[in-house]
Amino acid sequence: MRDIAFGQYYPADSVIHKLDSRIKLILVVVYVVGVFLVNSFISYIPVALFLLSTILLSKVSLIKVMKSIKGILFIIMFTSLLNIFFNKVDNVLWSWGFLVITDGGLKIAAKLALRLLLLVAGTSMLTFTTTPMGITDGLESIMKPLKLIKVPVHDIAITMSITLRFIPILIEEIDKIIMAQKARGASFDTGGLVKRIKAYLPVLIPLFVSAFRRADELALAMDARCYNATQNRTKLKELKCKKRDLIALFITTIYLILVITIPMFFPIILDFFSK
């Protein structure tokens, strides 16, 4: 659970860390759109290369990025099995009763697993390379036009920032509670599924108590510092787009174009070389 990346920031002196937070938010959205536009295995190549290049430029350890995927491995395995056994497309490879494995089902399961892996690894790079306050400022700046229709932009941005920050704190709190319960003789790794679920019930009550206590302390601290969401608030760091931000935006646009066009031109290229 310590390996969940959401809300965690890893400081480093890299080009990715220095990018404007607004640009990084836009790049993440474009990256996610590209991942969902992928409809063939060949299209995953530019997505994977784009993600790998970003990881290398950010100087974030590849192992840390891979560990951030551990939290969704169960979801990937579960959805992949559902697609393998219940997607009856193309040729049947194996069957037993109502369980059928087809080559089409295997392809769909593989594509879905790759999509989820790339999606989580790519979006986690935002929190790896951007501070919670940077994300808040970027969201608030992007959503500024919504102020014209009386949308509380600053409140939404600060709420999302606090949520991201609370995720690793609550995970650390869960770890402490489990260690304390184990020291008192509790067992979380023995017995069947129902017994293991029941073993985690005593963890929930102190977790909720701790979460409410931390939220109350945060509210009191913000109130003691006269925090409010007025229109006249100033910022310590003003967001300014620089040359590197425009270059990053240009490269990401090329990435999206490649994701869209490669499936269209790849059969033509194969046909050309086969002649």
Reported as a pLDDT band with limits 50, 70 and 90, residue 202 is: confident
Give the contacts of 29 (CB within 8 A, at least 6 positions apart): none
Q: What is the pLDDT of residue 232?
A: 63
Residue 273 has pLDDT above 50, yes or no: no
Cα Rg of the chain (Å, integer): 23
Residue among 130, 163, 158 at smallest CA distance from 28: 130
Residue 234 has pLDDT above 60, yes or no: yes
Most confident of 14-23, 173-182, 218-227, 264-273: 14-23
- Please give the full DSSP string across 111-169, using - where no structure is assigned: HHHHHHHHHHHHHHHHHHHS-HHHHHHHHHHHTGGGGGGT--HHHHHHHHHHHHHHHHH
| Residue of higher predicted confidence among 248 and 165 | 248
Percent of the chain with pLDDT over 90: 1
Average pLDDT over residues 41-66: 86
Residue 274 has pLDDT above 70, yes or no: no
d(CA 67, CA 4): 7
Most confident of 1-5, 57-61, 77-81, 100-104: 57-61
d(CA 174, CA 196): 16
d(CA 14, CA 51): 15
| Structure confidence by residue, pLDDT tens digits, 167-197 | 778 878 888 888 888 887 777 777 776 777 7
Q: What is the pLDDT of residue 137?
A: 82
Lowest mean pLDDT among 67-76, 78-87, 124-133, 225-234: 225-234
C-alpha distances (whole Å) from 235 to each of 92, 120, 155 are 61, 31, 15
Average pLDDT over residues 5-28: 83
Phi and psi at residue 99, to the nearest 5°: -90, 125
| Cα torsion angle, 117, 123, 127, 129, sign | positive
C-alpha distances (whole Å) from 69 to each of 36, 107, 149, 265 are 18, 21, 38, 32
Reported as a pLDDT band with limits 50, 70 and 90, residue 272 is: very low
